Structure 1
Amino acid sequence: MTKHVSCVDLVRGLSRRSLLKSTAGLLSVPFVAKSTTAWAQEKLAGAGQVVVFSFGGSYTEGLRKYVYDPFTKATGISVVDVTADFSEPQVRAMNQAGRVDWDTAIVQAYNYPDMHKAGMFVPIEYGLWDDEALKGTPEKARLTDAVVSYGTATLLAYDERVFPKSGPKNWADFWNVKDFPGPRGLLGANARSNIQAALAADGVPVSDRWPLTGEKLDRAFKKLDEIRPHVAKWWTAGGEPPQLLLNREYVMTNCYDGRAITAIRQGAPIRIVWDGAPITYNYWTVLKGGPNNQNAQKLIAFVNRAKIAAASTLALGYPGPNINQLLHLPPDLAPLLSINEENSSKLAVEDSAWLAAKRPDGKSNADYIQDRWLAWRAR
Structure 2
Amino acid sequence: MIKRDPNCLSLNSLSRRSLLQSTAALLSVPLVARATVAWAQERLAGSGEVVVFSYGGTFTEGVRRYVYDPFTKATGIKVLDVVADFPEPGVRAMFHAGKVEWDIATGVAAANYPAMHEAGMFVPIDYSLWDQESLEGTPPRARLDDAVVAFSSALLLAYDQRAFPKGGPQNWGDFWDVKKFPGPRGLFAPEAKRNLPFALLADGVAHKDVWPLTDDKLDRAFKKLDEIKPYVSKWWNAGGEAPQLLVNKEYAVTSAYDGRAISAIKQGAPIKIVWDGAYLVHAYAAILKGGPNNANAQKMMAFLNRAQIAAGYLQGTGYPGPNTNQLKYLPAEVVEQVSVNPENGSKAIVEDSTWLATKRPDGKTNLEHLQDRWLAWRAA
TM bracket, shorter-chain basis:
over 0.9
Deviation at 1:18, TM superposition (A): 2.5
Residue identity in the other structure for 1:309: A
- Size of the alignment, in residue pairs? 367
Taking structure 1 as reference, are residues 13 and 239 closer, same or farther at Cα in structure 2, changes over 3 Å only?
Answer: closer
Deviation at 1:59, TM superposition (A): 1.1
* 1:89 is aligned to 2:89: yes
Separation in structure 1 between the aligned mates of residue 314 and residue 294 of structure 2, nearest angstrom: 25
Residue identity in the other structure for 1:79: V
* 1:313 match: 314
Q: Does the 8 Å contact 1:25/1:265 carry over to 2?
A: no
* 2:105 match: 105
SS of 1:192's partner is: coil
* 2:353 match: 352
* 1:57 match: 57
Task: Supply the RMSD in Å over aligned alpha carbons.
Answer: 1.4
Instruction: Compute the TM-score of the two structures, normalised by the length of structure 1.
Output: 0.94
Instruction: Give matches, 1:35-50, under 5 Å.
Output: 37-50=37-50
Separation in structure 2 between the aligned mates of residue 127 and residue 373 of structure 1, nearest angstrom: 45
Deviation at 1:24, TM superposition (A): 4.6
Separation in structure 2 between the aligned mates of residue 228 and residue 25 of structure 1, nearest angstrom: 36
* 1:8 match: none
* 2:276 match: 275
Deviation at 1:269, TM superposition (A): 1.1
Separation in structure 2 between the aligned mates of residue 43 and residue 241 of structure 1, nearest angstrom: 45
Deviation at 1:38, TM superposition (A): 2.6
* 1:219 match: 220
Residue identity in the other structure for 2:346: S
Residue identity in the other structure for 2:105: A
Separation in structure 2 between the aligned mates of residue 337 and residue 306 of structure 1, nearest angstrom: 15
Q: Does the 8 Å contact 2:24/2:62 carry over to 1?
A: no
Instruction: Compute the TM-score of the two structures, normalised by the length of structure 2.
Output: 0.94
Q: Does the 8 Å contact 1:25/1:266 carry over to 2?
A: no
Once the two structures are superposed, what CA deviation does each residue of 1:260-314 show, in whole Å capped at 9, x if it has no partner? 1122222221111111111000000000000000111111111111111001100
| Higher mean displacement: 84-93 or 261-270 | 261-270
* 2:5 match: none
Instruction: Give matches, 1:64-143, under 5 Å.
Output: 64-106=64-106, 107-143=108-144
SS of 1:204's partner is: coil
Deviation at 1:89, TM superposition (A): 1.2
Once the two structures are superposed, what CA deviation does each residue of 1:220-239 show, in whole Å capped at 9, x if it has no partner? 11111111111111111111
Deviation at 1:25, TM superposition (A): 4.8
Q: Does the 8 Å contact 2:17/2:85 carry over to 1?
A: yes
Separation in structure 1 between the aligned mates of residue 302 and residue 157 of structure 2, nearest angstrom: 33
SS of 1:190's partner is: coil
Residue identity in the other structure for 2:38: A
Q: Which runs of 5+ in 1 are unaligned?
A: 1-11
Residue identity in the other structure for 1:135: E
Separation in structure 2 between the aligned mates of residue 131 and residue 284 of structure 1, nearest angstrom: 20
Residue identity in the other structure for 1:49: E
Residue identity in the other structure for 1:56: G
* 2:3 match: none
Q: Does the 8 Å contact 1:148/1:321 carry over to 2?
A: yes
Residue identity in the other structure for 2:167: S
Once the two structures are superposed, what CA deviation does each residue of 1:137-188 show, in whole Å capped at 9, x if it has no partner? 0111000000000111111000111112221110000000011000011111
Sequence identity (%):
65
Separation in structure 2 between the aligned mates of residue 22 and residue 206 of structure 1, nearest angstrom: 27
Q: Does the 8 Å contact 1:14/1:189 carry over to 2?
A: no
* 1:33 match: 32
* 2:4 match: none
Residue identity in the other structure for 2:230: P
Once the two structures are superposed, what CA deviation does each residue of 1:24-79 show, in whole Å capped at 9, x if it has no partner? 5534x252335675341121111000010111111111111111111111111001
* 1:6 match: none
Residue identity in the other structure for 1:51: V
Separation in structure 1 between the aligned mates of residue 332 and residue 31 of structure 2, nearest angstrom: 13
Separation in structure 1 between the aligned mates of residue 25 and residue 202 of structure 2, nearest angstrom: 32
SS of 1:191's partner is: coil
Once the two structures are superposed, what CA deviation does each residue of 1:320-361 show, in whole Å capped at 9, x if it has no partner? 000011100111111111111211111111111111111122
Once the two structures are superposed, what CA deviation does each residue of 1:85-118 show, in whole Å capped at 9, x if it has no partner? 1111111111111111110112110000011111
Separation in structure 2 between the aligned mates of residue 21 and residue 377 of structure 1, nearest angstrom: 29
Instruction: Give matches, 1:183-332, under 5 Å.
Output: 183-332=184-333
Q: Which runs of 5+ in 2 are unaligned?
A: 1-10
Separation in structure 2 between the aligned mates of residue 76 and residue 260 of structure 1, nearest angstrom: 37
Deviation at 1:376, TM superposition (A): 1.2
SS of 1:274's partner is: strand
Residue identity in the other structure for 1:92: R
* 1:7 match: none
Q: Does the 8 Å contact 2:32/2:70 carry over to 1?
A: no
Separation in structure 2 between the aligned mates of residue 166 and residue 18 of structure 1, nearest angstrom: 29
Residue identity in the other structure for 1:376: W
